[in-house]
Structures are given as C-alpha cells and as structure tokens.
Amino acid sequence: MTAVLDLRALSVDLPLGGFLTRARLPILCDVSLSVGRGESVALVGESGSGKTTLARAVMGLTPISGGSVFFEGQRVDGDLARLRRNAAMMFQDATASLSPRLTVGYLVTEPFRIHGLPLPDPAATARDLLARVGLPPAIARRYPHELSGGQARRVGVARALALDPRLVVADEPTAGLDVSVQAEVLNLMHDLRAGMGLAYLVITHNLALVRHVADRVVVLYLGRVVEEGPTARIFAAPAHPYTASLIAAEPKPDPRRRRADLAIRGEVPSVLRRPAGCEFHTRCPLVRDLCRSTPPDLVPVGDGRQARCHFADQRQDKQGERHAVDHR
Amino acid sequence: MSALLSVENLSVSYRIPGGRLRALRDVTLSVRRGEVLGIVGESGCGKSTLAAAMIGLLPQGATVEGGAIRLEGEDMRHLSPDRQRGIRGRSVAMVFQDPMTAFNPVLTIGRQVADFTGAHGQRLPQAEIAAMLERVGIPDPARCLGRYPHELSGGMRQRVAIAAALLMRPDVLIADEPTTALDVTMEAQIIHLLRALRADFDGAIVIVTHHLGVIAELCDRVAVMYAGEVVEEAAVDDLFHDPRHPYSRALLACDPAVVIPGTGHLPTIGGRVPDLSVLPAGCAFAARCPLADALCRTSPPRVAGQGRSVLCHRAATQVAP
Amino acid sequence: MSCADETSLGARRGIGRALLADPMGLAGLVIVVLFLSMAVFAPWIAPYDPIALDVKAKFQTPSAAHWAGTDHLGRDLLSRIIWGARLALGIAITSVGIAGGLGLILGLVAGYGPRWLDGLLVLVFDSMSSLPMIFFALAVITVLGPGTATLILVIVLVSFPAYARLIRTQTLALAGADFILAERVMGAGTARILLRHLLPNVTGPLVILLCMDIPVVIMLEAGLSYLNLGVKPPAPSWGNMLSEGYNALRQAPHVVVVAGIPLVLATLGFTFLGEGLRDVLDPRGAGRRWG
C-alpha cells in the first residue's frame, strides 16, 4: 500500500541575508519519513529543530532545496493543487489562521469555493461541518476574534475536514489551550481518525500529546532525524540519548516521582554554528571521543526503529532495563 | 511558624462595560518562609490577578473590594505608595512569563540589572551580579553582562530575570508562568534551578501556572483556583494523590500527561467556566460537577482540617476514588 | 476558555454608532453631510444662478434678498458658496478617490507581488513623492493649461504614492500572517487572497487617510484658483471667490469673510471625521477584548 505522504531525503535551506554572498543556511537535512494511510506520525523537536519548516515545506509554503515530497505515490512537483485539495493543515495559532473579516460560516465552507466544488447550501454545509467538531450552528455567524481558543481550534479542524482530506498536518494542535480543552481537542482528533481513516502528521514538542495521538514518532534535532520508531517502543526504551533526555525532561504530574537530577543541560546550538561530529555531542551526557569527530548515520536498531547514534546498539539493553525500573 | 505573606479574604473586581467582573472572591492563602506554594488553574480563573495583587501591581480598572495582603503581618494596602514601591522588588520580587518584555531592548543586561538593583538600594558591584548569574546557571557571566536582551535565548533571559530578582534578597519570589514560553529541556532546567535555589534561599516562592507537571515537580503546597475562588488548598502529595474537590479531581484526570498511554479518550470537564460578571448562585462549579445536587445551589462551606481546605458541600462525605 | 465567549463585549459595535458616541466625530459627520448635501442639491437649494450678473446690485452686504450679500459683479454669494461646494467637493472627492484607488491597487501589487515588481514600484513611489508638490503642480499646469481636469491630474499624481506606500506596508505585514498562509495551504489563488483576504484588512487606515486628505485638496484647489491656476472664472470656486474678495477688500470686506467660512468649516469637518474614524477603525481597537 502506498503511503499517503512520503518524504525522501528532504532538505530545506534558507538564504543568509548577506548582500553579496550566496551562502545558504541548512534548516532541514535529508529528512525521510512516511505517513501511511490512517496512520498518525508525530514529529518531535524543540524550537530550532526545523519541525515547523518541515510542515511548511510539505504544504508547499517553503521551497525545498533537495529531495522530494510524494503524496499518495505521486511526486509533488510544482503542481500543488492535488496535495492542497487532499491534505489540510492546522496551524499552531488557530485564531490567527482565520481571516479576521470573514464569518466562521464563510471560513469553514471556503475550501469548496476555492476548489470550485458545488456548494448548493452553504449554511447547511457550515452547520454540518461545525456539528462534526461539536460546535453549535450559531457559531457560524461569529467572527474569529469572538471565539475562545478552543472554539477557534475546532473551527480550524472543521475547515480542515471540509473536503474529506486524507492527511492532516497539525502544527502544535494543543498549544496555548487549557488542560481540559486540550483533552477535548485530542479526543476530537482521535474520533475523526477512527471515523474517517485520516492520517495525521502531528508536529509538537509536547510528549504527552505524542503519547496520545501518535503511532510512530520521528525525533528531530537541528533539522536531522535522530530517532524514529513506534511510539510505545520509543517511550519505553529510547535509543538516542536526545530522545531519552526529552522524555526525562518532561515534568511528571506526580510529586512522588520527582526527578532528582537533570538529564540534559545547555541549549540547542544555533543552526549557524552546527557542532562538528555528532551534532548532539555538546549536550550529550554519554559523549565519547568518537562523537566529537565523526557524524553518526541513521541506522536500524531493531523493532522497526532507527537512531542516529554511534552507541545506540550497545545502550539498548541497559536503557531498556533502567526504564523498566523507572516505570515499575 | 507564622506566615510570611498572607492574603486574607481578598476580593478584586474589574470594571467592564455594563457591570463588574469578579476576578477574585474571598481568597485566603498564606505562604511561610522556606515554602513553595503553587497556584494552579485554567485561564480566566484569577490566578494572574492574584499574583499581581500579591505584589501590589493590579492593572487599571481593578478594584480591591475587601480583604488584606499582609507581609509579615503588615497590611501592604495601607502603606504609603513610596513604601509599597520599596517593598516591590525589595521584599517581594516577581518573574514573568516572557522576560523579554521585562527588559529594555537597548540596554545591556549588566546595565539593566545594575540599574534595577540600584533603584532598590545600593548599586551592587558587577562582581556580585556576575556571581549571581553564575549561580543561576549562566555560562560565562562576564560576557553575558555585556550582551543585549535579544542576544539571549528565552531560557537565558528567564535565568537573568531570576538572578535580578534574587539579587534583591527578597522575602518572597513570585513567578508567573515561569516556564510556559520555554522548551521542555529548558523548562526542566529552570525547574531544577528554582528547586536548587529554594534550598539556599531563605524566603518563600509562589509559582503561578496552569501546568500541573510544574506544580508536582516544584511545590510543597498547592492552591487550586476556579472562577476566582480557591476551591482546594492542600499539600502537594495530598492534592495529586487524594484530591477532594470535584474540580481538582477533574483537572488532574484530564491532564494529557497523566493518562496511561494507549487509551483513546481522555476524560473531559463538560460545560464551561461561568461568566464572572453574572455568577450563578451557590457553588460556581455546580453546573459542571458530576456530584452536584440541590444543596449545591447554596454557597458551599469551606471545610478545613488536616492541613487542607476544600470549598465544597460534599468534601466531608466524599470518598476519594 | 475565556468568560467573554458568550457576550463578546463591544466586538461588533457598528462603526456608525461608535462614531455618533464621539462628539468630535459626530460634529465632523454633521458638517461633512451638510456640505455633501449642498454639493448634491446645489441646483435646487441655491436661491440664484451663481454666475448670473447683476451689476446694479454689486457689493451688497447680507440682506433678506441676498443672505450672504453679493460680489463685485452682483452675483449672489450664498449661491456661489453652494455651487462652490459642488465644485470643491467634486474635485476633492474625485481626485482623492482616483488616487486612493490607484494607491490601493499598486500598493497591493507591490506588497504581495514578486520582489522585482515591488522594487520597481517603490522606486516610482519614492521618485514621485520626492518632487516638490507646488512646483510640480505649477509645471504641469504650465504645460497643460489651468482647468479642472489638470487640477485633478495634479492631485492624483501628487497624492497616490503616499496611499500606495501605506497599503504596501500593510500588505507586506499581512502577507506572512498565518491566515494568509492558511489560505495558500487550502489552495486559494492570488486573486482570492488579494481581494477577499488582504483587501478588507488594509483599507481601514486608507479610508482614514483619504478623509484627512480631502481638506488638504480643498485648500490646494482654493489656493491654485486664488492664483488663477485652478478652476477658470467665472466658475464659483471658493478660491476664485477669495481672490475676487481680496481685490475688493476695502470696498466690501464681507466677501472675503463669506468666502473663507466654508473653507474653514469644510476643512474642520473632514479632519474631525477623519479623527473620529481613526478612533473607531484603529486596528488596535478593532476586536479588542479584555481578559
């Protein structure tokens, strides 16, 4: 079965602002990933990891400088119409992604108008779409600034669903929402996936969200995939020290399980000054000499997983044990 | 031990077109020396108003309708504006969500921290400032002093803000969403820093946040706020493992971080927060509460005992799940 | 979840009602409506023909027959003021309207079009606005000869760059906004993005600026007519009336005063209205929510 979305060695770089130089700054390097039909893949990384750039490159908002994007087996090449008709995007700031002078009713039916599809009764279509995301019909008369964060998020989902897409790219779908509203949005995403066979590419730094929505996880660090594999396996025994640090850094909502020490120090280095060798070596608690000189490759480490670490194999067993103890 | 900072029956409202918005209602809280108090709640619950009131910086349009804020027993509201200003920064310091907004973009970090401390007493020598920056985990503090705010990352700015606050040797440090704007790994480092500081800082820390994980990692006691009231106050372990107020219980249950992976659905809290300008009679949570009955249409009692207090008719009779 | 959900305080208050609540804006609105109706209904409300001579009745002070008196040729001043309003507002609204439309289109194209086109257009805007206005106006009038059409052309050429630049800046700021990206992701074409999504969000400040510029144009027209470079006599231009009144200042000082009053009032009216609109349409005020 062909994947809904397939990225092959995707690279994106941005021009550096110099007047005379043609220098370009690599943001994403050789990122390959695929999202199967009905599958949900999470792309995880901190700010500066390039995850938002990836979402924009997939949707054709940022030009790609290398590699290719395949949508349902066909290469997306200049002609974005088919991709944009069948894939939708949810933006991080839901309110800002709604055109401010138009009503919700118009906004959710706009995809039909854009693609010249029949829209015999806009009001009825808007009502149906809003009902699918659990919003009352009266919302159709409101303007974006009159919506709460959770409502704007739902309107964004309703609009994304208008043309029955096969793929939804969701950039931080719960950012800025209260916990109880986050839960509502996650439940909604879950139900839609079950009901419509939607595939998700969820872009986030929130690991709690990943656990709930993702079948597979792709971890990005400085624009490179450092680990990739099934969610449950990765959370149980991360193969890359960066993934392990991310999981450890997440505050645990249980005062009895407070972390005693700190798994990771320092900050993500600037993409302007990428470290030599393994790019994570400046923050890695397990760094060795080899890491400072030789960049590791993304290699399979078993269980359908891949990791970009020289010592992933050796560490696998030990870490598995430690994590098992941790989680009792 | 007596309270260092205490809020007694504080009520605050905002003037809005056609009425008033009751942001805080009869809030009573206190924090002792050496203690970390967490204030948790969803947006619009009044937690930021409470933090602002604690440092005497309520926004325009806010009116204190009653109650007192005492620092070592002295009601801050009855002090002269000059004395209040002295207390702010000196005795009570605050760290904000985005420290970028707290810095002047055209002055170096060193200059600003020196000015800030100078405004509250003697100017501190650069060496002392550098030492404090080092204490909060800034590598190469001497170089950091010569930099401008935009040259620092969010995490570094937050560290500088904490250092500037601590240089005043305040009695109370109030942090409003100190980690919300940061990445996970930086959040962990700031939590770690605040926890380490707590050990050698002989004051009280108040953390205001919506993030339950931060509370669990950092606090000794927690106050849960809902619709302008403190609905439950308890030791952190009691709250997370034996929440008594139905809202505390619902809030803990729906946190995506807490649920065991694999379950498709998270519990939610049905309904919505009441409009604070037209509050319903009785318990503000009744409309969303699974346990609500006719009794809940009357004002709930505050049931206190065993180091906790709960604002609920059912608090005494309820059995924790 | 904010408590403002259900009420959405002050969110969609009508612009009109907000304007009426502001005393200055209301005064401006009343004056502007007054002048507009004078302009529109001039043939019906003017008591005399504005260019009909009655030399016997020259330099009459205000009386029951001639409420505002007469000028050196015995023409009824009130009628000339009323017809003058038609001329002044006609020229001002036409030229500012054309300039605004031109500025809107060029500004949108510069702000959302390809970079090279933007560069070219900005060069045009900058060179146009670097010309000293009055000398440029004199040069054009010298070449084309004075007259209403020349006057409109001069005003359009002088004022459109400012409008275009305003629109361009706004468009540039919005081009990278999330809602524009969202439209592009959905596959919206350039025309839809420009007309449906950018246009409604950039016109507010332009409307304010146009309103504030109308008195400037009225003054310019009066000034040029006063110098006999604008509207040709005997057309009832306020500037011509001032000029003629000035020549007869000693015999009949009331002519200058009468000709000056509408000029001052119209200027104040449009300025007040512009200020009022600014308060109402200010982007920071629109959609403001507490909490």
Mean pLDDT for B151-173 is 85
Q: Which class is B5-91+170-257+268-311 in CATH?
A: alpha beta
Domain assignment of residue A197, yes or no:
yes
Return the bridge partners of A221, or none: A224
Q: What pLDDT is attached to residue A106? A: 93
Do A188 and A278 fall within a single domain? no
Do A227 and A206 fall within a single domain? no
Tell me if C287 and A85 make a contact (CB, 8 A cut-off): no
Q: What pLDDT is attached to residue C121? A: 92
Tell me if C9 and B17 make a contact (CB, 8 A cut-off): yes
Among chain C residues, the shortest Cα distance to A113 is held by C188
Where residue A223 falls (left for φ over 0; alpha for ψ -120 to 50; beta otherwise) is: left
Among chain B residues, the shortest Cα distance to C7 is held by B275
Q: What pLDDT is attached to residue A21? A: 65
Return d(Cα A232, Cα A126) in angstroms, integer. Answer: 38
Return d(Cα C72, Cα C76) in angstroms, integer. Answer: 10
Q: What is the largest CA-CA distance in chain B?
A: 65
Least confident of A285-294, B167-176, B305-314, C248-257: C248-257
Closest CB to B276: pick one of C3, C9, C10. Answer: C3
Q: What pLDDT is attached to residue B78? A: 79
Q: What pLDDT is attached to residue B255? A: 84
The shortest C-alpha distance from B44 to chain C (Å) reads: 6
Write the pLDDT tens digit of every residue in C197-243: 999 888 888 888 888 888 888 888 888 888 877 777 777 888 778 77
Residue B230 touches chain C, beta carbons under 8 Å: no
Do A299 and A237 fall within a single domain? yes
Return the CATH number at A187.
3.40.50.300
Return d(Cα A173, Cα A202) in angstroms, integer. Answer: 8
Tell me if A251 and B214 make a contact (CB, 8 A cut-off): yes
- Strand B204-209 relative to strand B229-235, pairing: unpaired
Do A185 and A323 fall within a single domain? no
Least confident of A120-124, C8-12, C107-111, C154-158: C8-12
Domain assignment of residue A57, yes or no:
no
Write the pLDDT tens digit of every residue in A150-204: 889 889 999 998 898 999 999 988 887 888 888 888 888 888 888 888 999 999 9
Q: What percent of chain A has pLDDT over 90?
A: 32
Mean pLDDT for C85-103 is 90
Return d(Cα B228, Cα B45) in angstroms, integer. Answer: 5
Query: Taking 70 as the threshold, does the pLDDT of residue A316 lie above it?
Result: no
Could you please report the per-residue DSSP string of A258-311?
A: --SS-S--S-PPPGGGPPSSSTTTTT-TT--HHHHHSPPP-EEEETTEEE--TT
Q: What pLDDT is attached to residue C4? A: 34
Closest CB to B184: pick one of A149, A205, A258. Answer: A205
Tell me if C290 and B44 make a contact (CB, 8 A cut-off): no
Return the bridge partners of C72, or none: none
Where residue A188 falls (left for φ over 0; alpha for ψ -120 to 50; beta otherwise) is: alpha
Return d(Cα B77, Cα B3) in angstroms, integer. Answer: 17
Q: What pLDDT is attached to residue B262? A: 57
Q: What pLDDT is attached to residue A113? A: 92
- What fold, for C27-281? MetI-like fold (1.10.3720)
Mean pLDDT for B240-266 is 81
Residue B170 touches chain C, beta carbons under 8 Å: no
The shortest C-alpha distance from B84 to chain C (Å) reads: 26
Tell me if B210 and A178 make a contact (CB, 8 A cut-off): yes
Domain hosting A151: range is 1-47+64-214
Do A42 and A174 fall within a single domain? yes
Looking at per-residue confidence, does A102 or C15 come out higher?
A102
Q: What pLDDT is attached to residue C193? A: 92
Chain C residues inside the 8 Å CB shell of A60: 184-185
Q: What pLDDT is attached to residue A195? A: 82
The shortest C-alpha distance from B245 to chain C (Å) reads: 21
**Cβ neighbours of residue A83 closer than 8 Å, sequence gap 6 or more:** A59, A60, A69, A71, A76
Q: How far is CA A325 from the centre of its chain?
A: 30
Output phi, psi for A224, to 5 deg: -120, 145
Return d(Cα B26, Cα B7) in angstroms, integer. Answer: 9
Tell me if C1 and B272 make a contact (CB, 8 A cut-off): yes
C60, C70 Cβ separation under 8 angstroms: yes
C207, C242 Cβ separation under 8 angstroms: no
Write the pLDDT tens digit of every residue in B105-133: 888 888 888 887 777 666 777 888 888 88
pLDDT bracket for residue B208 (50, 70, 90): very high
Q: What pLDDT is attached to residue B121? A: 63
Q: What pLDDT is attached to residue C288? A: 34
Instruction: Write out residues 37-56 of B within 8 Å (CB-CB) of A.
Output: 42-43
Query: Taking 80 as the threshold, does the pLDDT of residue C53 lie above it?
Result: no
Mean pLDDT of chain A: 86
Q: How far is CA A266 from the centre of its chain?
A: 24
Q: What pLDDT is attached to residue A315? A: 63
Residue B32 touches chain A, beta carbons under 8 Å: no
Residue type, B110: G
Mean pLDDT for A196-221 is 90
pLDDT bracket for residue C122 (50, 70, 90): very high
Q: E-strand spans in chain A? A: 5-15, 24-35, 40-44, 66-71, 74-75, 87-90, 167-171, 199-204, 216-221, 224-230, 299-302, 305-307
pLDDT bracket for residue C165 (50, 70, 90): very high
Nearest to B225 by CA among B2, B73, B7, B1: B7
Query: Taking 70 as the threshold, does the pLDDT of residue A326 lie above it?
Result: no
Strand order in the sheet with A299-302: A87-90, A167-171, A199-204, A40-44, A216-221, A224-230, A305-307, A299-302
Q: Does the N-terminal peptide bond of residue B149 adopt cis geometry, omega within 30 degrees of 0?
A: no
Tell me if B188 and A253 make a contact (CB, 8 A cut-off): no
According to the per-residue pLDDT averaged within each range, which of A258-267, C129-138, C177-186 is highest? Answer: C177-186
Query: Taking 60 as the threshold, does the pLDDT of residue B1 lie above it?
Result: no
Do A207 and A227 fall within a single domain? no
Tell me if A211 and B261 make a contact (CB, 8 A cut-off): yes
- Helix C199-226 to helix C238-247 angle (10° resolution) is 20
Query: Taking 90 as the threshold, does the pLDDT of residue A2 lie above it?
Result: no
Do A145 and A190 fall within a single domain? yes
Do A239 and A104 fall within a single domain? no
Tell me if B272 and C290 make a contact (CB, 8 A cut-off): no
Q: What pLDDT is attached to residue B317? A: 63
The shortest C-alpha distance from A268 to chain C (Å) reads: 26
Do A30 and A71 fall within a single domain? yes
Looking at per-residue confidence, does A23 or A134 come out higher?
A134
Q: What percent of chain B has pLDDT over 70?
A: 93
Looking at per-residue confidence, does A27 or B202 come out higher?
A27
Return d(Cα C185, Cα C179) in angstroms, integer. Answer: 10
Tell me if B187 and A187 make a contact (CB, 8 A cut-off): no
Please count the other Cβ atoms lying within 10 Å of the Cβ belonging to residue A259. Answer: 16
Among chain B residues, the shortest Cα distance to C6 is held by B275
Mean pLDDT for C151-180 is 90
Tell me if C3 and B14 make a contact (CB, 8 A cut-off): no
Do A232 and A162 fall within a single domain? no
Query: Taking 50 as the threshold, does the pLDDT of residue C127 lie above it?
Result: yes
According to the per-residue pLDDT averaged within each range, which of A1-5, B111-115, B232-236 is highest? Answer: B232-236
Q: What pLDDT is attached to residue B261? A: 55
Least confident of A90-104, A268-282, B249-263: B249-263
ipTM of the complex: 0.83
Q: Which of A47, A179, A211, A222 to mutate to test the interface with B (most CBs of B within 10 A)?
A: A179
Degrees (nearest 5) of the Cα angle A85, A186, A233?
100
Do A165 and A87 fall within a single domain? yes
Q: What pLDDT is attached to residue C7? A: 32
